[in-house]
Amino acid sequence: SSKIRNMEVRSADGVAVLEDCIGFSLTKTISKVEEKLKKGVLPDCQDDDIIPRIGNEMGPEAQIRFLKAKLRVTQEDLANVVFECRKKDDENQNLETRLKDTEEENTRLQRTISLQQSQTEKYKMLSQEANKKNEGLQQEVTALEKVLQ
């Protein structure tokens, strides 16, 4: 995804063109193919399915127009895929951020729960001590009442 993120997509005459592809230039490639076609040196690609069978009956200019149109469509598809990848990348970033925040919140809540449990135990012990002291004082009161009677 980092390679896709670093690619720049721009539009030239309604055609998406990729830049920053190391060692590759569509313009140069198209120029080379056009030169070969002008010289009459057609590549021997009988098994190639880029041009349909009827392409053999087309003239070189029609084949070039067909290939350029197919190239435009392919570049637009590529631009859409790059856009979707970037969109998914952003979505992943958002989800990772949310996950991190949730984990931090979870850690904070765990600490709070631990603190509250220790406080609860402390108050239970204080309550038990107060109850014992209360019982002792009740016994003293009862004993003093007997003495006073």
Question: By C-alpha distance, which of 73, 12, 66 is closest to 37?
Answer: 66
As a whole number, the mean pLDDT across the chain is: 80
pLDDT beyond 70 at 8: no
pLDDT in tens, 90-126: 999 999 999 999 999 999 999 999 999 999 999 999 9
- Is residue 38 in a domain? yes
SS3 labels along the chain: CHHHHHCEEEEECCEEEEECCCCCCHHHHHHHHHHHHHHCCCCCCCCCCCCCHHHHHCCHHHHHHHHHHHHHHHHHHHHHHHHHHHHHHHHHHHHHHHHHHHHHHHHHHHHHHHHHHHHHHHHHHHHHHHHHHHHHHHHHHHHHHHHHC
Structural domain for 112, as ranges: 21-148
- Is residue 13 in a domain? no
In the chain, what percentage of residues exceed pLDDT 90? 50
- Is residue 1 in a domain? no
Of 126 and 67, which is predicted with more confidence? 126
- Is residue 12 in a domain? no
- Tokens representing 83? 């856009």
Task: Look up the pTM and report it.
Answer: 0.47
- Is residue 136 in a domain? yes
Number of domains, the chain = 1
